A and B are shown apart, each in its own frame.
Chain A
Amino acid sequence: WAATFLRDIRQVKVTISFQGETLEQAFMRLSEVSNVSFNYNHNELRKITTKQLTFKNESLPQVLSAVLKETNFKYKEEENGVIIYQVNSVQEKNLASSVNQAADKITVKGTVSDKFGPLAGVSISVKQSSNGTSTDADGAYSIVVNKGETLIFSMIGYRTQEVTIGSQTAVNITLESEVTQLEEVVAVGYGTQKKVNLTGAIATVSAKDFENRPITNVSTAIQGKMSGVTVLQRSGQPGRDNGTIRIRGIGTLNDSSPLVLIDGLQGDMNTLDPNDIESVSVLKDAASAAIYGSRAANGVILITTKKGKKNSPAQLTYSAYSGWQNPTRLPQFLNSADYASLYNEALQNEGKPKKYTDEEIAKFASGVDPDKYPNTDWLGLFFTEKGYQQNHYLGLSGGSDKTTYSISLGYFDQQGLIKNSFSKRYNLKTNVESQVYDRLKVGLDLNLNRKNITEPTNPYTGDMSQIFRQVIKLSPTIPYKYSNGQYGYGQDGNPIAWMDLDATNASNYNDAFGNVHAELTILKGLTASGMLGARTFADMGSRFIKDIQFYDPNTGNPTKYQGPNSQRDYNANSLNITSQALLNYNGSFGKHDIKGLAGFSRESYRNDWSQGERKNFPNNELTELNPGSTDGQEATGSAYEWALQSYFGRLGYTYNNRYMFEANARYDGSSRFANGNRYGLFPSFSAGWRVSEEEFLKSLNWLSNLKLRASWGKLGNQLVTDASGNQLYYPTVSTISLGKDVDYNFNDAVASGGIVTKGVNPELTWETSTNTDLGVDISFFNSKLSFTADYFSRATKDILLDFPAPVTYGLSAPARNAGSMTNKGFEFELSHNNQFGQVAFNASTNFTIVNNEVTDLKGKGDIFYSSNAQIARVGVPYKAFYGYEVEGIFKTQEEVAAHATQSGVTKAGDLIYKDQNNDHKIDAGDRVIIGNSIPKYIYGLNLGANYKGFDVSVFMQGAAGHKGLLNNEAIGGFGDRKPLEYQLGRWTPENPNAEFPRVLATQKQNEQVSSFWVRDASYLRLKNLQLGYSFPKSITEKMRINALKLYLSGQNLFTITKYPDGYDPELPEVSRGANYPQVKVYTLGLDVKF
């Protein structure tokens, strides 16, 4: 043996995995890895095989204990190395008798547990001797020691503890888990894998990241937590405050949403209770996602819900919080006196007479005659509620050695900032899995979720956003109510009068999904498994609109009427059935590890919907359909289907834990395409090299892991949408359109129509994105510091595009495979955790750079969005802002005259648009790209510390390198607007260096889409700040509970941004401000474990 013996084998740390080889082989490798000599009987050890075991940086005694566990071998240190001997040998007897001869020997008993309950198989050794034992299934142990000796409690995945024995005979130990990054197991497509063995780019978050935050849904829970995953929360409306998720940029001109799978079934993450989630894996590159083929082009999110653990007693958990909300930012509008004088100025700026006299303005200011000269604070009348929210969660989980279970109940109630806006969610989940035979495991997962979203309606347009629009639009010079109790109103009505009607639109979603699954072990390492899953999603809407009659306040005559009252019931029901069969193989042959997966799946989907509407109810109190008038009643309904059939497989090979190769492929067929273009093949290849396992780096104790990764592959996208973003289910089938859009009528009776109106393109096929990823994972100092970096490139081609057909075609244009776009960038993640005395500290940060570019539109030319404010143009990022470049504000009429002609009404005080093409006139030809709407940089920062029972955590999140456009009501004005506070800083002849242009009454020359209104929407936000206190055991034991934690948490506490005052930078990229505001949330919560 060349290896040198080290005196204290506890200081030898090894990283090794065993895959069922003989003990003889195992010790040969262990010797190589550890530089420690082993002496043993080769013939005897050859008869025994190891279990599948993996050790990361474990001390040699722990490795030896685990390898020899359940064998009749033990080990013993000697001068020249370690001797492996059989316990029935003479040596053991001698050893035992020598112990018996010691003087102060006592028997110590106790149980070892972790936070979930008793732990079986914990190794207990005596520091001063080679004596040792392990805990039984109930976590109990018993050992004979000498007084003054030290017991070492160790188990893989837990922090080792030492206890010196005085006179105590009972020692109960709670081990703390110590899952290092290298041991972490992550969910991958159709399975799990140790993070250290990954060759693809997968980002994960676990339940820990969600804890004690008042997050209302899963999408916002993952915001800022992972590199490469952009989440923007566009609204704070209860129930509709989920984020939009984009993985590694925007990959298509169509739907860029990732595929979401919950325990293997396609689902909606926003109906889940975040408390039920164990982990979220985001498959970002082709290596990890290609196994999902045609739906993976925009990334895949795998959500794993909490399951019970084997051999753990029943654990009951209760957690709850209550919170209050505030808007993050609200616009500040001028009072009616300022409104009136600024309006006069605006009229005069257009050469028109003033509307208000000085006396009238004085009356607005004094408030003497609130009927004629009111000062209405519409926002104040609107945002009247505190947004109380509460969450309750009750979970029970546990398991025997054969069966595990987990049951949970969740309730969430979120009130809004305005009346009649709220959301409630009810969740019930159960998972059971049992080893029914030695070779057969079966399980059942079941989720029942109900979510309600209620919002106010209005009798003008029916929706809620119109109320927001009117609130930020309606002039303070219009009274909310006259002194006689009648409502004031503007040309579109009165939003607070509408709110007073208490008419609501309720959406109820029932989301039930579940699966039964079974796994049969055919041979060692070879398993066959099957899964049958179903999801039924019901969307039931009930909208009542109440009518309102306004009156002339002087005569009492009825004037404007908004109505009639109406009830609309909407019912949609979908059924999604997934069946899948997998064959899985894992095998090790010496240094060769091989794994393989072959699978087949089928998915079918059908959605049926119907809607009924009646108008003219006898009053505003009955909100069911029947009391409505049958005159003019409407019934509509339809259904659609799609199906997918897929074959897929994976082949992985690892040599010596150092060189890893993996290939994935999926062959997908979709019902959306015509026979012949239906199937697509999506392959991927990846490799990893754990450089840290090479001899030349092994001696570096501070280097825990260094891995290089590379991958390449193709992914597909089958979601064809029309120009307005609606999915098309039969884009290649030529049909006769029927119904309302083609019907005519003769003599007031419907004459049913039927005619071709849609062009189709039978050649249509998949969008394909080609992905390349290069990555490196490094960790240092026993993984206390770790760093991951990735470069990625994603090129999408054959993007389905509504290519305009010649006008003479006379049918709507069929989609074609035409567009191309790329997303390239870098991702970095850095994390560190450490202990300073009694203070444990952790920090992690992630940073992503994405560059998006539209690379080809096949000659279609520019595509415009958002009323020409955004553009898709070859060579620039998708949906870049497009408009005039502003050079400043004209200070004098001479400057206007000297500049290229803008419009006939341009005067001093107006914005100066740059004459890009030098033709001395400003027109459409002078518009240029003026900003990116897709965040170029996203980042997150987590800091946490705890001291004794106290913990504090800070989570910041941000995005940068993108802009947002505010227009219409959001930028204030007159006529159908009202002015904002910033407009006091307008240009006037006396204030020629003003930041803002002059005020105008009706002219819109300063409101063109321009660099003046397209503003930097970068932000950094304190997403969450949390203070917690966990009560010490001494107190909780008296209360007969295991653990109790109280915490205070604040969400969205502050935001640093240059975005215009009053508007949240996470608003939709083009906004008129009529949005539900983002909210700050203050919560108080508790967690109890029984």
Chain B
Amino acid sequence: CKEDFLDKAPLDELSDQTFWKSEKDAQMALNSCYRNGLYGFWEVLYLDAMADNAYSQFAWDGFQKLGNGTMDAGYVDQNNFFTFKDIRSCNEFLAGVEKIQFADPAKKEAMKAEARFIRAMAYFYKVQFFGDVPLMTTPLSLQESNIPRTPKAEVVKFILDELGAIANALPNKASSSGKVSKAAVLALKARVELSEGKFAEAAASSQQVISMGNYNLFPNYESMFWMANQGNNEVIFDRQYMANAGDNTMWDMGAHLPNSEGGWSSIDPTQSLVDEYECTDGKVKELSSLYNPQNPYVNRDPRMSATIIYPGADWRGSLFNSLDKNSADYYNNSDNASETGYNLRKYMDPAATGDDVWNWGTNAILIRYAEVLLTYAEAKIEQNQIDASVYNAIDAVRQRAGMPVVDRTVYSNQDKLRELIRRERRVEFAMEGFRWFDLKRWNQLEKIGTPVYGVRDGVVNADGSVTLSGSNRLVEERIFATKNYLLPIPQAAIDISKGVLKQNKDY
């Protein structure tokens, strides 16, 4: 009998041998690098719960322990921070694409640059979380792949070299939204340089993006995050979503909307974040005459009401009420009510109604122009090169949000400007996943080892004002130890490596 009776091959997958023939094959593999290599809403919206901006109320989401400091060596990496699937996909593409002859060699180089960018970005997050990480640039066999961690400095150098090498293979602004551009490469490079204390380089990289002139600030801070405005000129790079596309669909609105709308309130903004917003006079609340502790949500930086649903907020046609014991949004009435009394508003697109909130297509912005401006400003401030360009950059971001320009008399020196830029970053990028990384590079992660508080008791009045009394609700005790500047390597990964991977200090 013929042996081929038993030769069966998958009917819905391509064989490794028959792939890597055409430019189309290369494009498919590159698409999968985007799919497997990028952070999305899971990270963008949840990462702030690792810091003092938000509280993750569901332990199974995997962020609660990262926020309250109780993660240990047995920590389960539910968020796949310590994964190399992303790196693998990019390395598979970069190895496979070499087998293909392109009609236009420049196109091949551009595609390779896209994959190298995705790989560099993925490595940057890993270095931030874990310090030393195994650096791999080619697809390794099962036997070859059990390798030790590469020193962080070496990985960072690799990232910066890569970003430097690929920038010129790409157009300033990508022809199609969602694709890697030269601006994205340089903006990421600036971000890496800033976090590594390479301030001159960070200023130069961000200046290059500013000088391109292809990007500007979107006029409306809140609606910038809505689907109707995706791909606007502020967006330098995003992780793209669309409705009805399975895991590529944004279902996160349902996960974060208030309980009264059938949402889960998964990530709840903290009192600490609410307190950070200046009053509309450009002064912090402690110094502003516009601030009323019994009715604290009026006269505040408009970015607060664009980011947070607070008691009395006008939300989808009615007043949000997390203070009334009989309200579905009262914390004690349901697991799906916010524990802090505040719900997430950023990205909660009013156009999404009914089931749309579980099936939406807004893109998750990973790099936007405001970051480039604030990175430029911070890099200059840290070098004490305080000039008009610094104020202009910060002013642009503030004015777009409806805030007055920086008071030059108050913020006149490096220390005061450092205080300002750090507050500015916190409120501008609140709930966009920046906070933990920012505190880390400012050596201020200790700040998150303090209790999380929510709203005070009180009532929501018919006009939307509130009358508060009592003290803030205690939501979670938190601890922080120096070792928490890095996450533990998941013990399971160490075990599988038979000890080739070593644990971070003190875990």
Contact = CB atoms under 8 A, between A and B. Distances in A.
A752 B134 contact: no
Given A675-B3, A739-B12, A808-B145, A563 B496 contact: no
A669 B7 CA distance: 10
B85 A491 contact: no
Interface in B14-63: 14-16, 19, 25, 27-29, 31-36
B84 A738 contact: no
A148 to B, nearest CB: 72
B417 interface: no
B506 interface: no
Given A744-B35, A807-B497, A808-B136, A976 B335 contact: yes
Given A632-B359, A804-B492, A754 B262 contact: no
B391 interface: no
B245 A810 contact: no
Interface string A699-741: 0000000000000000000000000000001100111111111
A136 interface: no
A563 B254 CA distance: 12
Contacts of A757: 36, 85, 89
B259 A754 contact: no
A645 B2 CA distance: 10
Contact of A811 (B88, B242, B246): B88
B92 to A, nearest CB: 5
B334 A671 contact: no
Bin the interface of chain B by size: 35 or more
B355 A564 contact: yes
Contacts of B36: 742, 755, 757
Given A675-B3, A730-B10, A753-B29, A748 B242 contact: yes
B177 interface: yes
A555 to B, nearest CB: 9
Contact of B9 (A631, A733, A924): A733
A602 B3 CA distance: 12
Contact of B261 (A560, A729, A738, A861): A560
Contacts of B354: 561, 563-564
A631 B490 CA distance: 42
Contacts of B262: 559-562
A678 interface: yes
A744 B335 contact: no
B252 to A, nearest CB: 16
A748 B362 CA distance: 9
Contact of A810 (B34, B85, B359): B85
A737 B12 CA distance: 8
Contact of B85 (A733, A748, A811): A811
Contacts of B10: 640, 729-730, 733, 735
A738 B35 CA distance: 12
Interface string A227-252: 00000000000000000000000000
Bin the interface of chain A by size: 35 or more
Most chain B CB atoms below 10 A, which of A560, A602, A642, A751: A751
A1000 B339 CA distance: 18
A836 interface: no
Interface string B353-387: 11100010100000000000000000000000000
A735 B240 contact: no
A559 B260 contact: yes
Contacts of B32: 742-744, 753-755
A735 B15 contact: yes
Given A562-B262, A563-B354, A735-B16, A740 B87 contact: no
A563 B357 CA distance: 11
B362 to A, nearest CB: 10
Contacts of A355: 332
B14 A735 contact: yes
Contacts of A810: 83-89, 91, 136, 139, 145
B240 A807 contact: no
A645 B1 contact: yes
A561 B495 contact: no
A806 B31 contact: no
B146 interface: yes
Contact of B14 (A547, A638, A671, A736): A736
Interface string A57-85: 00000000000000000000000000000
A639 interface: yes
Contact of A808 (B84, B259, B335): B84
B244 A561 contact: no
Nearest to B18: A736
Interface in A584-615: 602, 604, 615
B170 to A, nearest CB: 15
Most chain A CB atoms below 10 A, which of B9, B142, B493: B142
B5 A645 contact: yes
Interface string B155-189: 00000000000000000000011110000000000
Nearest to A753: B32
B388 to A, nearest CB: 38
A745 interface: yes
Interface in A734-793: 734-757, 759, 761
A734 B8 CA distance: 12
Nearest to A561: B354
Contact of B140 (A645, A745, A808): A808
Nearest to A809: B145
Contacts of B74: 924
Interface in B469-507: 490, 492-493, 495-497, 500-501
Interface string B327-348: 0100010111000000000000
A750 B245 contact: yes
Nearest to B93: A755
A975 interface: yes
B241 interface: yes
Interface in A790-814: 804-811, 814
A754 B19 contact: yes
A861 B499 CA distance: 14
Contacts of B140: 808-809
B11 interface: yes
B243 interface: yes
Contact of B496 (A547, A632, A749, A807): A807
A738 B25 CA distance: 11
A604 B8 CA distance: 11
Nearest to A560: B262
B147 interface: yes
A924 B73 CA distance: 11
A563 B176 contact: no
A694 interface: no
Contacts of A632: 243-244, 359
Most chain A CB atoms below 10 A, which of B8, B88, B242: B8
Given A735-B15, A747-B178, A814-B142, A752 B335 contact: no
Interface in A16-72: none
Contacts of B259: 491
A634 interface: yes
Contacts of B361: 748
A691 interface: no
10 nearest interchain CB pairs?
Answer: A810-B88, A753-B32, A632-B244, A755-B32, A754-B28, A735-B13, A810-B84, A560-B262, A638-B12, A671-B8
Given A645-B5, A756-B16, A805-B142, 10 more contacts: A563-B354, A604-B5, A631-B244, A632-B243, A741-B246, A744-B32, A744-B240, A746-B176, A750-B242, A807-B496
Interface of B: 1, 3, 5-16, 19, 25, 27-29, 31-36, 74, 82-89, 91-93, 134, 136, 139-140, 142, 145-147, 176-179, 231, 240-248, 259-262, 318, 328, 332, 334-336, 353-355, 359, 361, 490, 492-493, 495-497, 500-501
20 contacts: A559-B260, A561-B262, A645-B5, A730-B8, A733-B10, A736-B16, A738-B12, A745-B241, A745-B248, A746-B177, A747-B176, A747-B178, A754-B19, A756-B16, A806-B142, A806-B497, A808-B146, A810-B83, A810-B86, A810-B91
